[in-house]
Amino acid sequence: MTHAFRHSDQPCESGTPGHSGLPVPLPAPWRRDGAAMPSGAADRTGGVSALSGPSVSTGSEAAPPTSMPPAFIPPSAAPPIPVALLRCPDYDPQRIGRVVADALDASGWTPPRGHVLVKPNLLRAAPALSCTHPQVVRAACAWLLDSGCRITVADSPGFGTARGVAEAIGLAEVLRPLGLSVVPLDDAVQVPLSFGGSIGVARRALEADGVLGVPRLKAHSQMRVTLAVKNLFGCVPGVRKAFVHTRHGDRDHRFEGALVEVAAALPPTAALLDGVEAMHVTGPGSGRPYHLGLVGASASGVALDAVVCGLLGLTPAQVPLWAELAWRGAPGALPGQVALVREGPNAFDASRFEVPGVLKPMSFRPGTLLRSTVRRLWAAWRS
């Protein structure tokens, strides 16, 4: 079952420049004033309006939130956000280069002329399937260089160092001919959260003129799937990510809210998805390969995520981060706000793609946090 996203043969105008395309979160008092839910938004407890497909309960959803969403929905007259889907059978360098360039061209995204941060998913050194394929990252960088951009390729891996992971998976090798290397996302700047407290976000990400996220499509044991918006959580440096899990996980959807607000704090952000060889069954680090043969691109990571989740037959009720985005009225989270270009969802066979059934808790308990911290430090020392 796929959602009824509009199909167009021509790219539409991309989102408004000057912000990430995500709604700027409103202060907590406004969110608790009992305002009515915006038309077409999703109820995070499972009911979804303006979306095809039934409301699904998996037994893993949290209790109903105590507040209603901010009254932010883009005007109905706003043009739909283009999402380009293209078929690609393998990672042959020449073929993936052409497909990535075609996808980015068709997406309608115009990169800034200044400094662009390329943010792949570099989870850990092994298995390589846990990271974005090096040839997809290389092709994205080549397209940006041809567009006149200055580029930094950076991430903050869950385990190990950015340079160590890049060397292990072959990313450093394919970037050298382009005069590029991979650097860490560190030097955190505190960004306030709408529900209290703050979160450290890498200065390199915040000070870029634009960001191109390059995630890999993977199942996720806590989020069900991880795509473009979740990939931006890697802009939170180092072990801070584990502390966000511990402090905000399983607390009235605050962890999902923190992910959205990290993305909203970044400069204008586009997304290029590596779905050629995806990870399914579980993840984000130890799932099984699934050949989907897909490359996707959009000026909006939200829109790209919504399309791919729909292609997988999922609904917001099953994907906590998608539900949060729809609940907050993020542009592109609903089918009527998206236009497909190039291929439609029926061009891809996701019928055997498996996602986790019951999700693991998002919160890291003290023992889990300690073990995670030790594993991260050990991986960093080894790399």
pLDDT of residue 370 exceeding 80, the answer is no
More confident residue, 349 or 13: 349
**DSSP per residue, 239-250:** THHHHHHHHHTT
With cut-offs at 50, 70 and 90, classify the pLDDT of residue 377: low
Is residue 345 a part of any domain in this protein? yes
Q: Please report, rounded to a whole number, the percentage of residues in the chain having pLDDT higher than 90.
A: 65
Q: What is the pLDDT of residue 158?
A: 84
Is residue 285 a part of any domain in this protein? yes
Q: How many domains does the chain have?
A: 1
pLDDT of residue 2 exceeding 90, the answer is no
With cut-offs at 50, 70 and 90, classify the pLDDT of residue 335: confident
Rounded CA gap, 196 and 179, in Å? Answer: 42
Quick: pLDDT tens for 212-257: 999 999 999 999 999 999 999 999 997 666 566 556 566 677 889 9
* Backbone region of residue 317 per phi and psi (left: phi > 0; alpha: psi in -120 to 50; beta: other values): alpha
Q: With contact defined as beta carbons under 8 Å apart, do 245 and 362 qualify?
A: yes
Distance of CA 325 to the CA centre of its chain: 11
Q: Collapsing DSSP states into helix, strand and coil, what is residue 232?
A: helix
Domain that holds residue 234: 6-11+82-375
Is residue 250 a part of any domain in this protein? yes
Q: With contact defined as beta carbons under 8 Å apart, do 217 and 313 qualify?
A: no
Is residue 197 a part of any domain in this protein? yes
The answer to pTM > 0.85 is no
pLDDT of residue 71 exceeding 70, the answer is no
Is residue 77 a part of any domain in this protein? no
What number of other Cβ atoms are within 10 A of residue 291's Cβ? Answer: 13
Is residue 55 a part of any domain in this protein? no
What's the whole-number average pLDDT of the chain? 82
Is residue 357 a part of any domain in this protein? yes
User: What burial class does residue 18 get, using C-beta atoms within 10 Å of its C-beta: 0-12 exposed, 13-18 middle, 19+ buried?
Assistant: exposed
User: Which CATH number do you get for residue 281?
Assistant: 3.40.50
Main-chain phi, psi angles of 196, to 5 degrees: 110, 150
Main-chain phi, psi angles of 348, to 5 degrees: -125, 135
DSSP label at residue 346 = G
Is residue 26 a part of any domain in this protein? no
